Structure 1
Amino acid sequence: MILKLVIHFIILVIWFIHVQVSAQDYPQVLAKPGCDSQCGDIAIPFPFGMNTSECYAGKWFEIECGNTSTYQKPYLKSIGVQVRFIDVQQGTVTVNNPIDRNNCGSKDSRPVNQSLEGSPFVYSQEHNKFVAVGCNIITFLQVNGSEGSGCVSICDEDFKVDDIGKMELENSDCNGKSCCQNSLPPYLKEYSTEVKGFKENETDGECSYAMVVQQVGLYSYYTPKGYYFPVNGEMKDVDVVPVVLEWEIPNNLNLKLPPDDLSHCFDTNITSSRYNRSGQRCSCTYGSNPYVEGGCSDYYESSRNSLSHVTISIIKGVSISFGSIILLLLILWRVFKVIKTTIVKKHRENFFKRNGGLLLQQKLSSGEVNMDKVKLFSLKELEKATDNFNTNRVLGKGGQATVYKGMLIDGTIIAVKKFKVQGKIEEFINEFVILSQINHRNVVKLLGSCLETKIPLLVYEFIPNGNLFEYLHQQNEDMPLTWDMRLRIAIEVAGALFYLHSAASQPIYHKDIKSTNILLDEKYRAKVADFGTSRMISIDVTHLTTVVQGTFGYLDPEFFQTSQFTEKSDVYSFGVVLVELLTGQKPITLRSQEEAKSLASYFIMSVEENCVFDIIDERVMKEGEKYHIMKVVNLASQCLELNGKRRPTMREITLELEGIRKLEKDSNAQEGHGDFVRSEDYESLDDNSIISEIMSTFELRSRTTILKDDHVVTM
């Protein structure tokens, strides 16, 4: 009898292992009853469907299954594109998208880009990239006649023109050498492309390609993150590439969804920036299709059903003894409790590992992360704070993450950064480690993180007045950006960078300084943000060799040429921000229909031609003295030197700006305009307060280092 119980217990263990291995094998309910769910080898889940209107949710979701001599191809009938894959849980459909060719002989005809206007579809900003292939070109993705994105592609001197057509996009990093890439603007429904050479007639006779294409993320716990473009073959032979469209159920469809406790529906604004709610989407806790009755399943209920079948088999085997049946039932009940607890624990462990928990533990044990400054938030706490990540709480969206506004139980206002894909784990860990080391009033403060979700979360202090780019280029008369405020913001950003370069526990290169990454708090004080691509380096290291990446218009030309990022690369980007504050102009502008100019080069040209005051903002010219403005102009020119060694350090820049502002205050005081220096809407800082605070931190660190060195010598 005992032997029988042992045998049946082994059977239960084997069944448990099977349950663990097949935990993701849920029932695949795709289409409505009586409707086809397959076209060729492509699954067609509802709300998409074929044949009759009962099988799909409105004309936009109708699939036409075309027959060829060898196989069937599904087409999205409303926009006439071939469908490659439909993901109901993610709300995406992958389709074929044509390539724009230029100077490519018989294949030079540009396809007409299909408009998605009025449809529930939009080109996915998260899953796609704008890619250009060619030599010494700047390529623009245009939306309604203006530039929505763009990138620069250069070639080595020994690179042959024919090599462009032979290049395979799947094996290319597209980092700016013969191929470049950039993110798409949000809510993109229609676009065109434009290719220009660096010089007039430079690209005549040379073939180039421009396209919107799917980018797939690769991630391993043991190797760095990577991406690839799922395009097979050489460029000259490729006519279409995969592109991902996001979709939602439009409000005007009035689709009646089946009642299901295991599905969750939520409002969305995927296709319209003008409305907080342009549609809705649903998802299953477990299962395949929340839009079809029975499409979601209860994993634990399925586990219990499987357990019941095993129980029946075991009871038949030991039915000889009533006592053994009772004992077996008790064992089964205990095993079931253990299984359920183990499954829940396994889910949490998987989320912890997937979100970089092991790497974070390594950082904690090495002392790289100061846990006294940050808190681990529970998912329940953050869901309550953000109203379950309501779309109305979105503060901003980017290619990597979405930021939500929230309020904790104690009334603290927070900003929650939710990374979009699992491939961004390194950015999450990198930003967490770096911000946990920083303690500076002009750097956004990290409050904590959450590791209990599929996607990692970071929690910051809430910065209420948006970013400098919006405030500078969308000014209002209620709170204008005065000359004094611009000087103060420049000093605060410079002081923060000086702190990162010189006074932090280890030097930190920000690597993405731009006006959109400079936030303004309730008193319009600057806060440097977004450290996802930043790097912490050893004190004796002078540069960081890395793949060229950054924002067009702010990117250091020397870094672009050498792939070596130094502290002077941050200085160049700061110089562009300083020019933005002086001129009120955007970093990239079109001076004419034929010529694209960066603000940095336009500014340097104006300085060399002694006409720089022609491009300075009117308010700056009105409120500032020319002598003081010219000192800032000269400082910006030094920051934008092409040779990084000639650029000043952030310490020298901070001292210079502090000196200019002191002169400005003294001048205003002599003229009796003391009320202009301080505003009720923001708080000015005492003279030399930023540089004094940083220098005291730096000297403390230096003394500590000297003591350590003396100790080593004594030993």
Structure 2
Amino acid sequence: MQALLQLGLCLILLAAQYAPAGSAVPSSHCRRQCGNVEIPYPFGIDPGCSPGDGFHLDCKVHDGIERPFRSAFEVLDISLKQGTTRVLNFIVGYCYNTSTGSMEYFGRYGGLNEGVSSPYRLSDVQNRFMVIGCNALASISDRDGTGYEGYGAAACRNQSDLVDGSCSGIGCSQTTIPKRMYFYATTFFSTVNNSQIWKFNRCSYAVLMETASFRFSTKYITTNKFNGTNDGRVPVVLDWAVRDIKSCDVAKQNKTGTYACLSSNSKCVNSSNDQGYTCNCTNGYEGNPYLPGGCKDVNECDHNPCPSDGVCRNIAGEYRCSCRVGKKYAKESNTCNPNIGFIIGLTMGLFGLMIIIMISVFWGQMTIQKRKLNKVKQEYFREHGGLLLFDRMRSEKGLAFNVFSEAELRHATDNFDVSRILGKGGHGTVYKGIIKSSMLVAIKRCGIVDERQKKEFGKEMLILSQINHKNVVKLLGCCLEVEVPILVYEFVRNGTLFELIHGRNQALQISFSTLLRIAHEAAEGLSFLHSYASPPIIHGDVKTSNILLDDNYMAKVSDFGASILAPSDKEQFVTMVQGTCGYLDPEYMQTCQLTDKSDVYSFGVILLEILTGQLPLKLEGTEKPRSLSLIFLSAMKENNLEDVLVSQVKGQASMELLRGLADLAKKCLEMCGDNRPSMKDVADELNRLRKLSLHPWVQLEMEMDEENLVGGESTSGYEIELSGYPMGQSENHPINPGSSYYAR
């Protein structure tokens, strides 16, 4: 049968009918020291020196030294602030008796035979139930109190399994206990603790003890000796409190009789282990809160909490720091900082006149700076050709071109607010603006221009202002009084050809005939710039994102940020290559000479995008970027045109038409610019192909020379349906206006 041990930590006297904690004040003759242990009130070692038997201790002589005891358990220390008492508890052993061949208990047990109304509870936070041994299984139970029963098991096969400091089940285990325990019993299970493994471990041990005081040693197993540090005793922590009242709220309602927190600067703290409460001094005070006047003010200035250049003044419960004249104490950083208010007041008093003079000088400088700004604006206006524009506008009264002020354009764009941005690009940022109350325009703040461009800017503005072609975005005016000119274009709302082919409008499923019409209209616009403008204009950045679409999805060539006038012989070279990768003329990249055939090459790439639905330059996995032009030319060389055509195109047009368009693109992509057709030839050939797509039964003459393209009559006025919507109804098409454009 298992042996049941009553370990005696039944931490409240059954007969403890002690008086309430606040009912008596101890005499000044009460001893407050037993040996080296301080005995603070409410504890006492003399009769009448504690509020009841539950707080009474015995001061006994043990081994020639005075020591306080609670029953048979020696008291090590008492903490008023933490509400704890540390006592020495007895280790219980369970050993194999080689003489009798049976297991026997040993060690002292029993002592504090207390009950539920005692001030003490076993600390569930600071204690653990320790079991040491090999094949040791022990239980800890409180059947008469909380009803708790827990187990600790320790096992090992070889001494090499043991590790100093490790208590995780091999040779040693530790188990937590619940709150509200005031008693426990320990039992070893003989079915596990047997003599088969006692070759190197004859004894097992069990004890409830303070966790912080324990560190496992392999010697406890190998030497069969675990005696703790005090002749077979180890520390255990007891939580104590005034238990006759459940909580602080109840105690405060009855302060006149039993309230234990007698000091005027004390506070009540609810017990964390069962009902009851303890007392603590409030912040800034220290001492014994259970005695009248027991909480004394702490003189914080003794520890110099103020900054080195400050002065500390102690007051009841706290302290004050002050600084010398001219400085102010900052509590958050504990520093003496300059007193700005004092300094400003002194400065204003002494230097008031100087401030008035400074204000006068400031306003004078503001006036001078404003005059300088106006002068700078006038200089910019002159540099950008503003005088030339005004002279021309006076001489040609019908010139429909406006020169705006910077203030007008700031008002039109809400001071160039980010919400007004339509697009950004290498040549500037485009904003949506409203002029003349209701007229929508696109306002482009250009990028940096060089000195040559500044000199030619006025002339170029005159030329661009006179371009009036339905397939070229109209330049309405400009602002020249800023360092970098600002341009004002007509507002084109239905996005770009790029978005129709690749972007957000791709879902519209635009028909091939519509894409062919848009390409033809764009070619007509570029042809006009090359052939009919005087002097001719080279666009320099032809790409699908610079072909805008108006309300009727008519193409309009835009963005002349990289454009130049057809150069004279001495200015034919561009110092820095401009344009967009994938569209750049290889000959231009080698020679830095921009010609009209450079625009033709870029337009050939646009035709490839329509045929293939692919981007001009793309990445495929980890490979290097691949040029759409090279892919296409390789397919044409190997007679594999159908492999690169997009399925939508192949399903909507005849191969005869697609080969004709592919041959045109191939001629545009000739490496030598002289071998490429002109934009007029390209526009004429697209016109012919459109007729073929509209009337495939008509046998058109297809006499083509190896080096010349035969063009046909312009058909840009034809009405062509867009995804089932007649051109006259296209403003109802579900496309979000205000797309990003102009600034590519």
TM-score range, shorter chain: 0.3 to 0.5
The structure whose Rg is larger is 2
- When the two structures are superposed, what TM-score results if normalisation uses the length of structure 2? 0.43
Higher helix share: 1
